[in-house]
Structure 1
Amino acid sequence: MASHNPSPWIYANIRMICLALLFMLLVEISTAHELSPAFYATSCPRALSTIKSAVRSAVAREARMGASLLRLHFHDCFVNGCDASILLDDTSSFTGEKKAGPNNNSVRGFEVIDNIKKQLESLCPGIVSCADIVAVAARDSVVALGGPTWNVQLGRRDSTTASKDAATSNLPPPTLDLNGLISAFSNKGFTAKEMVALSGSHTIGQARCSSFQGRLNNEKTIDSKFAKSLKSKCSSGGSGTALSPLDVSTPTAFDNSYYKNLLSQKGLLHSDQQLFSKGSTDSQVIAYSNNVGSFRTDFANAMVKMGNLSPLTGTSGQIRTNCRKVN
């Protein structure tokens, strides 16, 4: 009796089927780990409204809190990704980001995040990550102060560690020149244009005199009357702790006056004025000063991109029940 060997096309078909099944499996795994605006639609449908309400209340009590929550998101994402590591208190095994120079006695809003987390743990225990809370709170803060909205991608998980050294080396200081700013943001995947758009967050918030006193005494790219008023404020504040608005015109409104101030040499920080200092970003500053709609659109898009910086997903990290410490 003659033996029967399967023809080569059968082997080819089997191989194609296996490859197709493997591809579908990889797509499914990849999709499961992607961020999505609807991540909590079924697991915690009231998550976004809860965060929004708490942020609105916090900003209504103190307008500056809006800028603080926005900055909290930025300082989190620029250090090992958007993983809520900035919220962790020090432990015996690590010194966290709160003690780093750019954050120490400066970054704030932790109590607002704690309050939101407490509410969400009552609604949906162990579901909503601290990293997602920070991301949504930043968006809601901007909206509360009249700025643009955007769809926050959700599904991040929380880090189980933090690094003071990483925060010190990754967060751009207010003393950077233009090339330094472009490089610092390029290292995170941002273009110079996106850097200028994100810098527009300084249309709200305040800075300590210690952050800009060197500019008052040593630079010529500052309006003389503006410098004089700042010197007076700082000399009476003591120890460089007095605060001044980053946007002298409309400090609690999310608009484009920040860029208009730069045209008049009224950028508060050295790094602010560097955006308009006869350099490659001058034209972008002028464009945003003339077109608030363009700024709003570019800022919102850049914020979505920033929120996608190295998130922990899938089984990485954890969902912390207390944002200040690991489970």
Structure 2
Amino acid sequence: MTDQAPYPIGTPGQAWGDAEKAEWLSRQTRQRSYAADVLSTIERLRSHFDVVEYGRLDYAPDTFPLFAIKSRDWRDDLPWVLVTGGVHGYETSGVHGALQFVEQHAADYAGRLNLLVAPCISPWAYERIHRWNRDAIDPNRSFRDGSPAEEAAALMRLVAPIRDRVLVHIDLHETTDTDESEFRPAKAARDGEESSPGEIPDGFYLVGDSENPQAEFQQAIIAAVARVTHIAPADRNGEIIGSPVVSPGVINYPVRQLGLCAGITAAPYKTTTEVYPDSPRATAEQCNTAQAVAVTAAIHFALANPRSFVPAT
């Protein structure tokens, strides 16, 4: 048992029904603007990149167009790099780090690879600074056939034609103090489970794919990001968020089994970044830059160590 106060919605030990989900939804308020923060930047990028609307969320009374940024002169004989951000809307640097990468670095790879960047997969949650979508579903456990989260389903449809041609997929995330104070207790309440306190790591770390961990690739990213912000140490159990640290700043998950965004392609090089924006040792600017640096480091490693991909026929 824990001494944590019960979550304010629902009855301890009982999973939420429609009434509890409706109460949760009624508490969610718009705190920032997807149009002002994200769409305005995407508009500026149209002069240099193709912008594709790959879906639309009809969350009455709001409608959110979903946009991806794509290399203008893409070539069938080149591999793809997929960059995703904002799967969890509250993880701010994932969104703005992806956009910063496009603005500052994407043009450097013209003629060397094709880029596809989906910077804000969950705009409803971005505006409400939340982990879940409007239906109290975590999109980053929903990347599977028949997904209940339209955010995940739309991205999977976008990526399907190039799934086997992706060389690198880097999914940009954050671990925040609210993971512990709000989102883990909320999940436990929603599912009728007990919430156990955990430990939030202070610093940047990566989540690799346990089925294809690519240790050298992960360490190349860690080395690059360490020049921008600090790397999370292992806790007293040699773990980060309950998983064994396999090398400095790296843990592994079975990404496809868990329905994570990082598992949606057959990319030989894939990783999830985790920035810690609540650290007194990191600024918002550092967090955004750490995400952009992680993307460039991943690309540089992959270009220097190419793996097979399936060209278009």
Please state which band the TM-score falls in when normalised by the shorter chain.
Answer: under 0.3
Which is greater in Rg?
Answer: 1
- Greater share of residues in helix: 1
